[in-house]
Amino acid sequence: MRKIAPFIQTLICYLFIVLFIYAAVSKLIDFETFQTQLGQSPLLASYAIHISYGIIAIELVTAVLLMFERTRKLALQISLFLMVMFTTYIVIILHFTAFTPCSCGGVLEKMGWTEHLIFNIVFVGLALIGIRIANNSQTWRGYIIEQTTLTIVGIVSVIILYSLSEQKSQYNNSFTRKYIPHLAEKLTTLNLESTGYYIAGIDSCYAYLAHPNAPLFLRTYDYHTQNVINNRIKIKNELLPYKRIITYVNSPYFYLGDGTVGIIEKGILNDYTASLETIDNAYYNQYVPGKKDHFGLSITSQKTKQTALALLYKTVDGYQLKINDTTLKSQQNGAFDLDGLLIWNEQHQIFLYVYYYKNEIIILDSMMNEKNVMKSIDSLNEPELDVAFYKKYQNYRLGPKTIRVNETIATYGDYLYIHSKRLGNFEEEHQSASIIDVYDLVNNHYLHSFYLYHKPKQQLRDFKIYQNSVFAVIDDEIYRYQLKK
């Protein structure tokens, strides 16, 4: 073992030299993108400029120190310290922040964050082995104390950066909610066995669940008996370049739409065969079925080059597209500030558009004409966006300082329900509940709020209302609650 130890140490040093030089050079080659990525990090945004230079300098200096026998132990300890910090950073990004930025560093950028974490842990282990070989005269007790101390310092350093970051402060606000205690009583839960499901529709017997990774399968959940049936949808043309199929169920019909190819398909439940309803090259970002043969769309207007609303409706001559490019008004550059959620209220025959990034709710009639504008309880009138342009990818991306006012929405009868993560006066973050704000669509004002209680540290992904029931997808489960009258 003693004979091969120097070889192992040399190999470890060479691996670190290659890693640090490659990482530093790839950052220098695309330094602007590297700085932009740091500037959109939940932990490092406030220190992006200094860190961008510091990381590259430390990586290059460490690589040089690893080349010489006299400085190898020091260089390996620096390597361990860096890899511990990088690993801790990834753990925090994956488990403790609401925003996951782009990874950076050449080929490492093509890794997912989980793969990146495993890669870093392997190099932490290599550094520990290299340090032990470099100082084999040290007692095991001294070695363990020294490296444990160094590891703890690295972890604590990143945790301090996280605690100093401004990420959490964006959720505090100056409005006051009116809570109705225990308004939603939990009735049943069902494990869906994987995350990513959304509720395509609900009727008097079933909740219909779809998944973006398996768009031709529709799960029928009988919420009275707790039985689940998996149905495969048949479509006429499977060769189209589908990218983002979204399913809606409005019993007895179901709809499949993909705005990237500009089509909407329609079928009847229990048959599960879809026929092409429209292919008028009406490319859209989102769609929602309205009254018969009418579809509300969110599109990119050719006239304004910004997000606009539109109506696709059937006439005797085929489908017509009516564009409303005046209702959504940009306060900034229009890249993200007009983004929101479009929904149809069957009982009042109206469309509702709720902005993601400001406190505005637009009410439109069945022909997509603006009827009214309502303010939500939130106090954010103008979007606060953290937008950066990535020259390498030629696109804009949102960063962690962006304040998202509204998460998901649902509507039934006279009410609009909005899930928000924003905290008001006298509120603290609740690990075991999600906030739902309720709005009166008849009198156009905020009514009250209530909690949907669930398991700790789980996330509300989607929810729908049917009569006096709330159906909510929370991570890999679907909950059914009853609203008390």
**Which tens digit of pLDDT belongs to each residue from 177-190?**
999 999 999 999 99
In sequence order, which residues have a C-beta less than 8 Å from that of residue 160 and are 6 or more positions away? none
Least confident of 96-105, 147-156, 250-259, 394-403: 96-105
Average pLDDT over residues 291-314: 91
User: Do 331 and 352 sit in the same domain of this protein?
Assistant: yes
User: Do 470 and 329 sit in the same domain of this protein?
Assistant: yes
- Does residue 46 lie in a domain region? yes
What pLDDT shows up at residue 396?
A: 76
What pLDDT shows up at residue 334?
A: 65
277 vs 443, residue with greater confidence: 443
Neighbour order of strands in the sheet with 246-250: 234-235, 273-278, 263-268, 253-258, 246-250
User: Do 219 and 338 sit in the same domain of this protein?
Assistant: yes
- pLDDT over 50 (residue 35): yes
Count structural domains, the chain: 2
> Which burial class, exposed, middle or buried, applies to 391 when counting CB atoms under 10 A from its CB (0-12, 13-18, 19+)?
exposed
User: Do 79 and 124 sit in the same domain of this protein?
Assistant: yes
What pLDDT shows up at residue 41?
A: 75
- Does residue 307 lie in a domain region? yes
Residue located via tokens 């906030």: 435
**Which domain range does residue 218 map to?**
184-483
- pLDDT over 70 (residue 108): no
- Does residue 118 lie in a domain region? yes
Confidence of residue 98 (pLDDT cuts 50, 70, 90): low
User: Do 397 and 283 sit in the same domain of this protein?
Assistant: yes
pTM of the model: 0.79
The amino acid at 294: H
User: Do 117 and 217 sit in the same domain of this protein?
Assistant: no
What pLDDT shows up at residue 168?
A: 46
Q: What is the 8-class DSSP label of residue 303?
A: T
C-alpha pair distances (Å), 67 with each of 28, 54, 72, 76, 302 = 21, 20, 7, 11, 58
User: Do 214 and 89 sit in the same domain of this protein?
Assistant: no
What pLDDT shows up at residue 116?
A: 84
Least confident of 81-85, 170-174, 240-244, 263-267: 170-174
Q: How far apart are the first and last CA of the chain?
A: 76
Spatial CA neighbour of 281 closest among 305, 308, 299? 299
- pLDDT over 90 (residue 426): no
- pLDDT over 70 (residue 138): yes
The amino acid at 279: I
Spatial CA neighbour of 364 closest among 328, 337, 329, 396? 328
What pLDDT shows up at residue 406?
A: 95
Instruction: Give the CA count within 13 Å in the CB-facing half-sphere of 168.
Output: 8
CA pair distance 230, 219, nearest whole angstrom: 5
pLDDT digits (tens, 9 = 90+) for 230-255: 999 998 877 778 889 999 999 999 99
Radius of gyration over alpha carbons of the chain, in Å?
27
Top mean pLDDT of 174-178, 423-427, 434-438 is at 434-438
Identify the CATH number of the domain in which residue 203 sits. Answer: 2.130.10.10
Structure-token pair, residue 75 = 């260089």
What pLDDT shows up at residue 451?
A: 95
Least confident of 43-52, 280-289, 473-482: 43-52
**Residue 91 CB neighbour total at 10 angstroms:** 16
What pLDDT shows up at residue 14?
A: 94
pLDDT digits (tens, 9 = 90+) for 167-215: 444 555 678 899 999 999 999 999 999 999 999 999 999 999 999 999 9
Q: Which helix (H) or strand (E) holds 451?
A: strand 445-453
Average pLDDT over residues 280-301: 90
CA pair distance 177, 427, nearest whole angstrom: 9
- Does residue 74 lie in a domain region? yes
User: Do 216 and 109 sit in the same domain of this protein?
Assistant: no
Identify the domain boundary among 172, 193, 226: 172
What pLDDT shows up at residue 153?
A: 94
- pLDDT over 80 (residue 332): no
**Pair type for strands 234-235 and 273-278:** parallel
Residue located via tokens 């709710």: 361
Spatial CA neighbour of 417 closest among 479, 369, 354? 354
User: Do 467 and 319 sit in the same domain of this protein?
Assistant: yes
Task: Report the percent of the chain where pLDDT is more than 70.
Answer: 93
Structure-token pair, residue 314 = 């059937």
Identify the domain boundary among 144, 172, 200: 172
Average pLDDT over residues 116-130: 91
User: Do 140 and 280 sit in the same domain of this protein?
Assistant: no
- Does residue 115 lie in a domain region? yes
b/e per residue, 10-43, with b = 16+ CB within 10 A?
eebbebbbebbbbbbebbeebeebbbbbbbbbbb
User: Do 27 and 121 sit in the same domain of this protein?
Assistant: yes
Give me the helices (H) in 3-139, please. Answer: 5-29, 31-39, 48-65, 72-95, 113-134
Least confident of 86-90, 133-137, 378-382: 133-137
CA pair distance 453, 444, nearest whole angstrom: 27
Instruction: Quote the crossing angle between the two packed helices 72-95 and 140-164, to the nearest 10°.
Output: 40
Identify the domain boundary among 172, 201, 232: 172
What pLDDT shows up at residue 43?
A: 73
What pLDDT shows up at residue 127?
A: 92
What pLDDT shows up at residue 169?
A: 45
User: Do 313 and 408 sit in the same domain of this protein?
Assistant: yes
Average pLDDT over residues 91-112: 66
- Does residue 91 lie in a domain region? yes
CA pair distance 151, 134, nearest whole angstrom: 18
CA pair distance 428, 450, nearest whole angstrom: 14
Task: Report the percent of the chain where pLDDT is more than 90.
Answer: 58
- Please, what is the average pLDDT of the chain? 88
What sign does the CA torsion over 95, 215, 469, 188 have? negative
Confidence of residue 52 (pLDDT cuts 50, 70, 90): confident
- Does residue 387 lie in a domain region? yes
- pLDDT over 70 (residue 368): yes
